[in-house]
Amino acid sequence: MGRWSDGLGFLLRRWRVLAGLAAWSAVEAVQTFATGYALARALDAGFLAGRPGTGLGWLAVAAVAVVVGAYGTGRTYGGVAALVEPFRDGLVRRVVGRALRDGDDGEAVSRLTHQVEIARDAFAGLVMVARSFVFTAAGALAGLFVLAPVLLAVVVPPLVLGLVLFLATLRPMARRQEAFLVADEAVATSLGEVCAGVRDVTAGGAEEYVRRETGALVDAELRAANALARWSVARVVALAVAGRLPVIPLLVAAPWLLARGVSPGALVGALTYLTQSLLPALQNLIHGLGASGTRLMVVARRLTTPPPAPRTAAVPSAGVPSSAGSPAVELRGVTFGYGPHAEPVVRGLDLVVPAGEHLAVVGPSGVGKSTLTGLVAGLLEPWSGEVRVGGVPAGERGARRSRVLIPQEAYVFSGTLGDNFRYLRDGPVPDHEVMAAVEAIGAGRLLSGGGLDAPVVPGALSAGERQLVALVRAYLSTAPVALLDEATCHLDPAAEAHAERAFAARPGGTLVVVAHRAGSARRADRVLVMDGPGTLVGTPRELLARSALYRDLQGASQPAGAARDADRVDAVPGPGLAGDGRHVVAHRAVGQVQAARDLPDGGPLGRE
């Protein structure tokens, strides 16, 4: 109701334009009236009566009427433009204001570049065909009445039948048109996200996933377009009925009409009105209502209906959305392998990571640690089982904003340092918040070249500096789940510890780290040891007692002679080293370790 009242108010405010348009349309209708009537008089009073001069005179009248009508038609375009352009400007203001208010950039692009122009062209077409049909029909029906009123009884019923058949297709056409526009918006939104995040796609190895997701949206748009085309065929059938059927009753009834005093000239004039005026105007009206009218109705509804109010949720002070009420990450019976005939890399994995937990993932190379982060990040789909992030299936859109993945090979792009830091945030981020993130991660040395406005040359940064940029970027994101897939491997142990503690301390944040150093595992609340079917999860202390592989990895994780890290993890644990507590002894040259209870005699070997 609001849209109809808005449209009526728009037209009433431009009543002078409408009056001028009606006046020139009346001038145009002179051609319609004069063509049939002059032809009938030329036959009856001229050529059939043996007076060719009179007949030629009436034909001259018809020719002059054509010129007058053409002049009136030309003048109507100015009136149409005076209606259409303000209409378009109003839609543009609505779209831009809505985009600035709601930040729906992807959909706004489709609305501004596509849907507004559809509405503009549809409105212009609708005004032209409606105006033309009304005044053409008035001129033709007036001419039929003047020639012989009985002609109306023969011509009008078939015309009405054709219109009724056509009107039955309007609602299905409108629904298919709206479905097509929804699909078009979804494609525009998806492509906007993909283009903006192409580096994320490449860095995370998500090309196949993006191809599949975007392809599904394109296929949906194709199906909507095909459905619209099928109903367009139905509209063409209705158009054929309305445009051709009325001629048949007139021809069939010709003897009956002649017997009742209708002159031959009047019959020819009626046929002229029908074939040269009424039927073309009706066809234009049907085409206009079926295409322009349906599009205008659908697009106007989508452009003028406000979006649903966004749901609000409490956000912790660090800008990380709260995930209270469900686990941050949950895997239930997850199995995955690379290829239909390959051995599964992950087999029947069950894992629950509560919100706020710090989980380290350790295991030999190739055991599936990065595969696990890919599953949680939604880049890989499990063969079986379910992966949820914040209670939402990992492959759904709702999970995207709940996680951020920092891969081992971090990337940066040309621009300023601040642009690189703010990349994952939708809106503006104040400098003080960025600086707080830089300090939390321990990336202050990156600012020595000019602060946040310093230009970034990707090739001039070291691998460790690129990782620091990626870590700050992820820290500033609003995703509550951070996945660090060896994202600190190019940092020294102290810098790595500083960054991991920062992520673990984010209010409401959850950290999953693929660990490559012993310190990463010992800092975690819990550790997931991936070893094929022998996968275990527990606290670092528990796993020292339960997992020989974990003890092995703790002993061989750092080269001999390296300095003790911030968590007091020695390079090669052994008897007498700090933190030993007489529960670890060294064996073999590679620095692997065993717990005392693993020795054959069940007791320690002293200080050997």
The domain segmentation of the chain, as residue ranges, is: 2-304, 329-537, 539-608
Which residues pair with residue 533 across a beta bridge? 531
3-state secondary structure of 375: helix
Pick the CATH number of 2-304 from 1.20.1560.10, 3.40.50.300, 1.20.1640.10, 3.40.50.970: 1.20.1560.10
How many whole angstroms from its chain centre is CA 351?
A: 32
Region 279-305: what's the mean pLDDT? 65
Assess whether pLDDT exceeds 80 at residue 77.
no
Tell whether pTM > 0.85.
Answer: no
Chain segment 149-176, per-residue pLDDT in tens: 888 888 888 777 777 777 787 778 778 8
Q: How confident is the model at residue 284 (pLDDT cuts 50, 70, 90)?
A: confident
Residue % of the chain over a pLDDT of 70: 78
- What is 329-537's CATH number, 3.40.50.1110, 3.60.20.30, 3.40.50.720, 3.40.50.300? 3.40.50.300
Q: Is the pLDDT of residue 2 over 60?
A: no
Inter-residue contact 36 to 143 (CB < 8 Å): yes
Residue type, 289: L
What is the DSSP pairing of strand 329-336 with strand 455-456?
unpaired
380-407 average pLDDT score: 87
% of residues, the chain, pLDDT over 90: 11
Most confident range (mean pLDDT) of 305-314, 319-328, 382-391 is 382-391
pLDDT at 112: 61
In which band, very low, low, confident or very high, does the pLDDT at 439 lie, cut at 50, 70 and 90?
very high
Which residue from 404, 440, 439 is spatially nearest to 423, judged by alpha carbons? 404
CB-CB contact of 322 with 508 (8 Å): yes
**Rounded-to-integer distance, Cα 175 and Cα 172, Å:** 5
> Are both 2-304 and 329-537 of the same fold?
no
Please list the alpha-helical segments (H only) found in 103-204. Answer: 105-110, 116-147, 150-167, 170-196, 198-203
**What single-letter amino acid sits at 551?**
R
Q: What is the pLDDT of residues 339-378, one digit of tens each?
A: 777 888 888 889 999 988 999 999 888 888 889 999 998 8
- Using CA atoms, how far apart are residues 566 and 230, in angstroms rounded to an integer? 70
Q: Which residue has the higher pLDDT, 179 or 334?
A: 334
Q: CA-CA distances (angstroms) from residue 229 to 166, 290, 318, 399, 599? A: 16, 12, 51, 35, 78
The answer to whether the beta carbons of residues 521 and 362 sit under 8 Å apart is yes
**Rounded average pLDDT over 480-487:** 90
pLDDT at 243 over 90: no
